[in-house]
Amino acid sequence: MKKIKTIFIGGGFLNQQYPWLIPLIDEYCKKKKINQIIFETLPTNEILKNKYYNNIFKNYKILELKDTLPFVLKIKLIRFVIVSPIAFIYSFFIKRKKIMKNIDWTKLQFRHAVWDTAANISQNPKQFIYPGFINKFYSSIKNFETKLIAKYLMKNNLSAVFLNHCVYFYRTLLSEFRKEKKTKTFIQANFTVFKQNKISDNNENILSKSILLKLKKKISLRDVENYWKKRISGDSVYSLANDASNIKMSNKQSIPNNVLMLHIFKDSPYSIIDKKRVFSDYVDWLKFTLKVISKSDEIWGIKFHPSAYRWGEDSQKIFNEFISEIFNSKIPKNFFLINNEFSNYEIFKKTKRIVTFWGTCHLESAAFGIRPIIIRDVQLSAFDMRSVIKPKNLKYYKSMLLTKNYNEFRLSKKQVYNAKYLIFIREKVLNFINDIDQHWIMRGDTQKYINKNFKKTIKNITKYDKFLRENGKLLTTNFSHTLSKKYIKYFLN
């Protein structure tokens, strides 16, 4: 009897964003002799009835997640009832100050998942800062239910798992799969698929130094500089950077020397859980930072994320809650709020100090010669820790916020080039959005706009079949990431 080897596909792979992943996964399965697929949710009829996809699926035994569960657990409401008692108790004990408590890796991830989910489902700004008991209870139910499901999934001889992301309650799913040594886990993010490590987090943009040094031999200084020039002119692979660069200066007030770059508040910052970060969470960081810089005798620009509206968030409302709590609703006189009055690039050209929790702006800052202050591990810190300031304690962080010695934030020409090189890597080497004719979408985009990707994929998938399968094959090796069409040839046997 043929041995059953299984792969689980979770998240939105087969909704109207990611059906292009199927040939990649199919090739991976062929190489690994996997013959059963468990989908979190079965593909839509439009996919199942498509000749191309049907020819792939007929080679597997196809199951839906609920098919793998005992009869009593097939109904979500019953699962919720089963886990409610422990979720209820857990909701009383989960607190911000305990998120980073020194516990084992699985528990640390679960704690992040519960807190992250509770903040994400908050319906008003105050609940984002202080998730109420109801939010924590619902989040705990969802995460304990996810843990329960994973327990039964693992009984299906899982060889590999492909997840759409690793934040919110999917972090709990990932943490459970990581317990099994033989199960490989893969995450899709920003048109890159990468292997997730077992005892620490990997990222879609972080390649090993050995691979980066090998690629440096294939990528010329001219290639990097030319792409950088195109990027700052608004012509890059990364459309969110294009949006930010195309904002024209509309405020006659000068850009301050110090700028705090905010993120989309509810867009999880925990795709990497940095065990050594000095703040419990994003809220803890922002509250501390605002208190410190309010006492500075310098002007501080506070820049809202330029794509927040596309994500579906009114960041100003959430920020106002911070001001309300910390400063009794009175914005400190040295705060200069920046929405879209200046582009990010205009800020980087003129400012001297950039502070952020994480995000693309840390690389952009360095590419303009400014050594950024970061809180969480990022692409640049993984490559060269000397190119960033990552505080090890609050005293040092405070001193970096208040120092007037701007030499602390200057980078060498070599470090500036390295930042541009890493931007090139994340957008031209690791990202294959252009190779499969897709466009960036965000949570707040219209369904019509999202559907365009799906329609293009269904129409043109055969054109990209070979390339996607090459990446599926690449993931069966020791290589950690998928690659764009131009660079994958250097790493395939």
DSSP code per residue over 304-359: PPTTHHHHT--HHHHHHHHHHHHHTT---TTEEEESSSS-HHHHHHH-SEEE-SSS
pTM over 0.75: yes
pLDDT of residue 381: 94
pLDDT of residue 1: 55
Evaluate whether the domain defined by 211-429 bears CATH number 3.30.980. Answer: no
| Residue at 49: amino acid letter | K
Distances, alpha carbon 419 to alpha carbons 141, 328, 364, 455, in Å: 42, 40, 7, 36
Q: Cβ atoms within 10 A of the Cβ of 8, count?
A: 26
- The C-alpha atoms of residue 172 and residue 170 are separated, in whole angstroms, by 5
Query: Token digits for 430?
Result: 């690791």
Local mean pLDDT, 10-residue blocks, the chain (493 residues): 86 73 96 95 89 95 93 94 97 93 90 95 89 96 96 93 93 94 93 94 91 90 94 81 64 85 92 94 97 97 89 91 95 93 88 95 97 96 95 97 96 97 96 92 84 89 96 95 94 79
pLDDT of residue 440: 85
Q: Taking the domains of the chain in order of start, what are their residue ranges?
A: 1-204+434-493, 211-429
- The C-alpha atoms of residue 26 and residue 83 are separated, in whole angstroms, by 35
Q: Cβ atoms within 10 A of the Cβ of 402, count?
A: 14
Q: What are the percentages of helix, strand and coil residues in the chain, rounded to 5?
A: 50, 10, 40
Q: In what order do the strands lie in the sheet with 353-355?
A: 335-338, 300-303, 258-261, 353-355
What is the longest distance spanned by two Cα atoms in the chain?
Answer: 76
- The C-alpha atoms of residue 222 and residue 162 are separated, in whole angstroms, by 36
- The C-alpha atoms of residue 427 and residue 467 are separated, in whole angstroms, by 17
| Residue at 257: amino acid letter | N
- The C-alpha atoms of residue 109 and residue 172 are separated, in whole angstroms, by 7
pLDDT of residue 13: 63
8 Å CB contact between 304 and 310: no
Query: Token digits for 190?
Result: 């920003």
